[in-house]
Amino acid sequence: MVVRILLILSLILSLAGGFLGWQINSQKTEALSGKAAAEQQLDTTKKTLGKVQEDLKQTKSSLDDTKGQLTTAQQSVEQTKRDLAAAQAKATELETKATDAQSKATAAQSQLDDVKKQVSQQSDATKAAEAKVADLDKAKRVAEDALAKQKAEVDRLSDILKRRVTGDMPPGISGKIVSVNRNWNFVVLNIGDKQGVVENGELIVSRNKSVIGRIRVTSTNGDTAVADILVNTLKDPSLQLQPGDDVQN
């Protein structure tokens, strides 16, 4: 009985020892597995930490660059502000000058308008004076033309009077007898003062280009004249002068 109990106890102890060994081995295996996982996680964490540190280093470098750029930008902004202030001051100065120039331009325009008005008034007066001068010039030309005509007429009449005394006539005078008065022994000619015929002037009478006698002018008109027949000059006393006979000097 005791032996059986001992066997049972021995069996129980053996089972208990086996179970305890298995449990210990399981825990050991689990612990080893956990250690490996922890070591792997630690390696991963170390790598991640290294990468983070590298990123942090790069970030710090970028931050330093950014700070430098920010400083440069701030300096540029400050310079721009100073330039802007100077430009605004210059713009204000130019605006003031522009206002002064506009005021002067307005005053100058007003003076120019006054001058234009005066010039326009003077121009109107000048035009009126020029028109009056033109009228006077026209009247002068008319008077000069009339005077020239009168002088020419006086000269012509003076020449006629002189030639009436002497009976001289310009060469080249020619005409025809238009009528004959045998009772009073005179003829009427188709030429007169305008052709240069004068009183006391003598003309040759011809017929068919043959001279038949002479006549002496007793009176003249514009285009006609009266002349006495000089009987003693007739080539044939029985020959009578007749209309159509030619006369010339």
Q: What is the pLDDT of residues 95-136, one digit of tens each?
A: 888 788 788 978 889 888 888 888 888 878 888 889 998 988
Domain for residue 112, yes or no?
Answer: yes
For strands 174-181 and 210-220, give the pairing.
unpaired
Residue with tokens 């089972």: 15
146 and 179 belong to one structural domain: no
* Residue 140 pLDDT level (bands cut at 50, 70, 90): very high
> Can you give the pLDDT at residue 70?
72
> Is residue 63 a part of any domain in this protein?
no
Q: Is residue 233 part of a domain?
A: yes
Structure tokens at 60: 């710090």
Region 49-54 average pLDDT = 81
Same domain, 141 and 183: no
| Confidence category of residue 7, pLDDT binned at 50, 70, 90 | confident
pLDDT digits (tens, 9 = 90+) for 218-238: 999 989 999 999 999 998 878
CA dist 106 and 99 (Å) reads 10
Average pLDDT value for the chain: 85
When pLDDT is cut at 50, 70 and 90, the band that residue 173 belongs to is very high
Strand partners, 174: 248
> What does the pLDDT average to over 75-95?
79
What's the pLDDT at 110? 86
Task: Establish if 243 belongs to a structural domain.
Answer: yes
Q: What is the CATH number of the domain that holds 176?
A: 2.40.30.20
pLDDT at 206: 96
Given 148, 166, 184, which residue is the final one in a domain? 166
110 and 178 co-located in one domain? no
Kindly write down the DSSP assignment for every residue of 40-62, as one continuous string: HHHHHHHHHHHHHHHHHHHHHHH
Is 224 within the bounds of a domain?
Answer: yes
Segment 234-247, tens digit of pLDDT: 988 788 999 999 99
My answer on whether 231 and 173 are in the same domain is yes
Residue 14: inside a domain, yes or no? no
- Give the torsion sign (CA, 191, 196, 201, 207): negative
> Is a pLDDT exceeding 90 seen at residue 160?
no
Q: What domain range is 217 assigned to?
A: 169-248
Same domain, 96 and 162: yes
- The pLDDT tens digits of the residues spanning 186-211 come to 999 999 999 999 999 999 999 999 99
pLDDT for the residue numbered 158: 79
